[in-house]
Amino acid sequence: MTTETTTETVTTFASLGVPEDLVELLASQGITSPFPIQALTITDALSGKDITGRAETGSGKTLAFGIPMIIQVVKSRPRRPQGLVLVPTRELALQVARALAPLLHLRGLTAVAIYGGAPMSDQMDALKNGASIAIATPGRLIDLLERRAFDPQDVSIVVIDEADQMADMGFMPQVRKIMAQIPDNRQTLLFSATLDHQVQELIDRYMHDPVNHDVVSSSENIVGMEHRFLKVHYMDKAKVVAEISRHNSRILAFTRMKSGADRLSTELRSLGVSAAPIHGDLPQRKREQSLDRFARGEIGVLVATNVAARGLHIDGVDVVIHFDPPDDPKTYLHRSGRTARAGEDGLVVTLVEWDQVNEVLGIQRRASLNIPIVKMFSNDERLADLVGWVPPPEEAPFTAKSIKKRKRRGF
């Protein structure tokens, strides 16, 4: 396996081999310079190589695989797409489909988003009408394969997007079942924020001598983020969120439970804050409405379970609030990565109840953070400017010596 690593690059889409018509369309959308993951992968993808790409969500992966795929496919025969993109969530399926739609339209091609919670008949009709690319969640795609509504024999290029989230959500058996039905002479592109054991198994089993492109992740290095840890009373937590929202435009708040997302949204609305929940128990239509309203700025606070922590490209999130602390550093990283994207700055706030302090300190230690947990109530003036307020460094929970010792032990 060949590995290439970068943190930035200066090039053009034309120099990567992207045809003039697509370059002009991208420019009309304000997309003139490729992101690092695009600059690294597009040329290799166009040459037919298998590729693994490690980069954070929001780093431009959709165009990194979408542009080469659109260049390579043509109008398909009924039920026989040539391109397949596997994604973990229906929101991501729709997001990828929307991002690629203008480029597909320019080439006279179509794609279909295949996911549960939507009429299967519409997806089957799109396949019958010759959709060249299928963007699918594993479960619904298997349903269509078993009904013979999707014939995989013409698939020549496969993308596995957000592979680590697929693993986290337990989709690996379904992914293996799908990949077993795709022709062996396919090209395979795999994108993931991390390349852990289960993802490496996919690489070893389904990819041929892949080139590994590794873009240093800003969220992984926690660059561009300001982190604040606030010790709060559980009866005051919603008011703290409301106060923060009054001084910031767009907030993404995470809860552990679906019921908690509903409850926090209701409490925020009662406090005069525009808020809406998004989680797996909501109908797809309501989830899409909440995302669209949040993107348009009609909702100030989007309250989410971890379904929104990965895979969704939500621009302009000013603040991520861990209303409920995450279970582990990986979840903290993925949630926090919804802000400070593409080189922008962002604020991450974790609300810590009295009995959660030790749990959060454990997450801090394993995430290489050393930030004081400071007591605050909802009427605290510091909530108006949490970025400008700097927690007193002398209250940091760990000594430099203890952190260094822990790193030597491999924690």
Residue of 352 and 224 predicted with greater confidence: 352
- What would the mean pLDDT of 202-206 be, rounded to a whole number? 93
Which pLDDT band holds residue 366 (cuts at 50, 70, 90)? confident
CA distance between the termini of the chain: 28
**pLDDT, position 410:** 42
* Residue whose tokens read 């997302």: 261
Confidence of residue 375 (pLDDT cuts 50, 70, 90): very high
322-355: pLDDT as tens digits: 999 998 887 888 788 778 655 567 899 999 999 9
Please report, as a single letter, which amino acid is at residue 407. Answer: K
Say if CB 211 and CB 44 are below 8 A apart.
Answer: yes
> Is residue 90 classed as helix, strand or coil in its secondary structure?
helix
Mean pLDDT computed over 300-311: 77
- The two tokens of residue 362 are 């454990």
| pLDDT at residue 29, as a whole number | 92
Predicted confidence at residue 58, as pLDDT, reads: 65
- C-beta of residue 133 within 8 angstroms of C-beta of residue 104: yes
Which pLDDT tens digit goes with each residue over 272-301?
Answer: 999 999 887 888 788 888 888 998 889 999
Could you read off the pLDDT of 55-107 as tens digits, one per residue?
766 678 999 999 999 999 999 999 999 999 999 988 889 989 999 999 999 99
Question: What pLDDT does residue 281 have?
Answer: 82
- 321 compared with 197, residue with greater pLDDT: 321
Q: Where are the beta strands (DSSP E) in 232-281?
A: 251-254, 275-278
What's this model's pTM, rounded to 2 decimal places?
Answer: 0.73
User: What local confidence, expressed as pLDDT, does residue 308 receive?
Assistant: 58
Q: Sheet containing 2-6: give its strands across.
A: 2-6, 211-215, 51-54, 187-192, 157-160, 83-86, 133-136, 111-114
Q: Say if residue 114's pLDDT is above 90.
A: yes
Residue-range domains of the chain with CATH: 2-215 (3.40.50.300), 225-408 (3.40.50.300)
- Per-residue pLDDT, 158: 98
> Average pLDDT in the 251-262 region?
93
Q: Read off the pLDDT of each residue in 254-259 and give the average, rounded to a whole number.
A: 93
